[in-house]
A and B are shown apart, each in its own frame.
Chain A
Amino acid sequence: MIAAFGPPALSWNLSSDLHQLFQFRFMTNAFAAGTIVAVVAAPIGWFMVLRRQTFAGHTLAVVGFPGAAGAALIGISINDGYYAFCIIAALVIAAVPRARQGGYSEESAVIGTIQAFALACGFLFVTLYAGNLNGVNSLLFGNFLGITTGQILALAGFAVVGLAVLAAIGRPLLFASIDPDVAASRNVPTQALSVAFLVLLGVAAAETSQITGALLVFALLVLPAATTQTLTARPWRSLALAVVVALAVTWAGLAVSYFTPYPIGFWVTTIAFAAYVLAHLPRLAARARVHVRAGPTP
């Protein structure tokens, strides 16, 4: 598509760069989709990091792969496959009794089992479909070409519902996440919240998979939250900052991948990783200073 118009070239003229960036419909669509996904993934990912459920989040994203491949196989919309599989998998994980503190082993094993089975199914569906290998790559590592207006509407619809639910349960969810016993004693429905959150996480994983691919969802689910939880210990401030970081990372990733031959999933992840490292630098530097002052240890 790009080749027909010659490769995009970055210049020192910002307005011409921006003009190039947005001259094609597929790029404006990609920016719209990326923006929606960043706004959904960051706050839900923030709670996921706080609740130490990153493994569940990763599994939900991986489940999107057989979902999408299976949808392609039976000839329905790939996006329906993402949402259906991710939400069903969220309910399955929610049905596994969650071990209390210090006892996550059972949960991890069950989730790992689901993840392995999901990947295997995805591989089978792709083999049966006998589609081109490029398709598999974009399911796993993301693609921003050819995002349709219909897809954007679906992303926006799920985003609005997901964020509305998150806004409604936000405070009790925070309470139940960091202090489950006391929350339960105050009649906070911790079990129901935990199921609701997993479904939200399924939606976020399904949405993020469509941009970053199933294997790189953590670029938007984990990295912004992990970055801003380092920067501030004020919960709501760090949640809001995570959205800002996710937006910045997505926009930068889209722009850079437009001007370079390398894929979107790589750029979004790399930029998010750079932000994470930058956020940790002051603390690492402080630790190094303490070491230097303390002198070499024998």
Chain B
Amino acid sequence: MTDPLNPATSEDADLHDPAAPAVRLTGGTMVLGGRTVWREVDVTVGAGEFVAVLGPNGVGKSTLIKAILGMLPLTAGHLTVLGHPAGHANQHIGYLPQRRSFDPNLRIRGIDLVRLGLDGHRWGLPRPRWRPKAGEASGDRVTEMISLVGASEYAHRPIGQVSGGEQQRLLIAQALVQQPRLLLLDEPLDSLDLPNQASVAGLVADICQTGVAVMLVAHDVNPILSYLDRVIYLAHGGAVEGPPEDVITGETLSRLYDTPIEVLRTRDGRLVVVGQPEAPAHHHDRHP
């Protein structure tokens, strides 16, 4: 019998085809509650690529991430993730949802949260820690990921009592601990101060260097701009995909949103998008 929580374990062979794109969406259309969120969207994320998903609020960026996870079915179109139908290779995907911070009274340590990323889907109770089974490497993997993201100092404190940036690092460690081939990060830089934005962006770029494909939803492209391979700009009508310098231009965005948009480049290389249509008051994106 196959493990119901890991439906793809028996098909691991195709998962290790390095040429298979991490995500291939063609003609994707999503209708939620009678409203078309996006239509005819094509997205390709190659293995090891760093891709940003951009666009105004309410345009369905989080919805796109959930579709890739198989949590929301496409209304139309074709989607494969790591060579499988969406939702069938999730054990190879690290996911960081759009966050809420944890309740300050939540008495669970950061390290426990990271460990759940490794084994939280398995039935049963954890083996008592004072008698680890011979050859068990999970403890090592957990501490290794925590030190990779630079969270060793506060991983033993209750998660609700560390700062937002520290929580975000621990959650990235949680997403990474299972050695995923695709990372889906939904606004990981939101609510962080500028130095933390820069350091988390650098951390994600380093992870990407190790061959993990990254899809990162962002509001502001600037903290990640220098690391990006490609960007996807989402709109209700469709999407534009390409290298940042081709996509984030007044001409392309004006065409996409059908409204005059200007892109200014500041002296230090930051991009400022002026005239971008702001959210229609739906916010389906935030509260699906």
Contacts and interface: CB of A to CB of B under 8 A. Distances in A.
A188 B90 CA distance: 11
A172 B124 CA distance: 8
Nearest to A102: B100
Given A101-B100, A186-B5, A187-B90, A171 B119 contact: yes
B114 to A, nearest CB: 11
Contacts of A188: 5, 120-121
A233 B107 contact: yes
Contacts of B71: 184-185
B interface, size bucket? 35 or more
B78 interface: no
A243 to B, nearest CB: 13
Contacts of B279: none
A185 B126 contact: no
B174 interface: yes
Interface string A86-108: 00000000000000111000000
B95 A178 contact: no
A107 to B, nearest CB: 16
Interface string A217-247: 0000000000001101111101000000000
Nearest to B111: A234
Contact of A169 (B112, B113, B123): B123
B122 interface: yes
Given A170-B125, A178-B106, A235-B108, A183 B90 contact: no
A4 interface: no
A172 B125 CA distance: 9
A185 B93 contact: yes
B124 A234 contact: no
Interface string B157-190: 1100000000000000011000000000000000
A174 to B, nearest CB: 7
A102 B123 CA distance: 28
Contacts of A234: 109, 112
Contact of B112 (A100, A183, A235): A235
Contacts of B213: none
A288 interface: no
A230 to B, nearest CB: 7
A171 B5 contact: no
Nearest to B128: A236
A168 interface: yes
A25 to B, nearest CB: 36
Contacts of A172: 120-123
Contacts of A102: 100
Contacts of B87: 187
A175 B125 contact: no
Interface in A180-196: 181-188
A172 to B, nearest CB: 6
Interface string B5-25: 111000000000000000000
A186 B91 contact: yes
A101 B101 CA distance: 11
Contacts of A167: 124-125
A187 B91 CA distance: 8
Nearest to A170: B125
A186 B126 contact: no
B124 A170 contact: yes
B52 interface: no
Contacts of B91: 186-187
30 contacts: A171-B116, A171-B119, A171-B120, A171-B124, A172-B120, A172-B121, A172-B123, A174-B116, A178-B102, A178-B106, A178-B108, A179-B113, A181-B97, A183-B120, A183-B121, A185-B69, A185-B71, A186-B5, A186-B90, A186-B91, A186-B95, A187-B6, A188-B5, A229-B107, A230-B107, A233-B108, A233-B109, A233-B112, A235-B108, A236-B125
